[in-house]
Amino acid sequence: MTYGALSAATLMPLIATVQGGELAALFGLANIVGGIGGNLIANQIQSWQDRSKMVVL
């Protein structure tokens, strides 16, 4: 939850810029959101892997 809140706070200035009509910032926003999504997915997969190792042991 903290990670999501921190990510949202970091993105707010960029979102405001895009809403203000600066469409070039949209590409930067897409790159950042893609990176955040990738990190969240990687963390979830790592969590599943850790849980499966605990069950086996």
pLDDT at 10: 77
pLDDT, tens digit (0-9, with 9 covering 90-100), for 1-57: 677 788 778 778 877 887 888 777 778 777 877 777 777 888 888 888 888 887 765
pLDDT of residue 57: 58
In this prediction, residue 7 carries a pLDDT of 73
Q: Which domain holds residue 31?
A: 2-56
Q: How far is CA 42 from the centre of its chain?
A: 10
Looking at the 3D structure of the chain, how many domains does it have? 1
What confidence score (pLDDT) does residue 1 get?
62
3-class secondary-structure state, position 28: helix
Instruction: Label residue 36 exposed, middle or buried (CB < 10 Å: 0-12, 13-18, 19+).
Output: middle
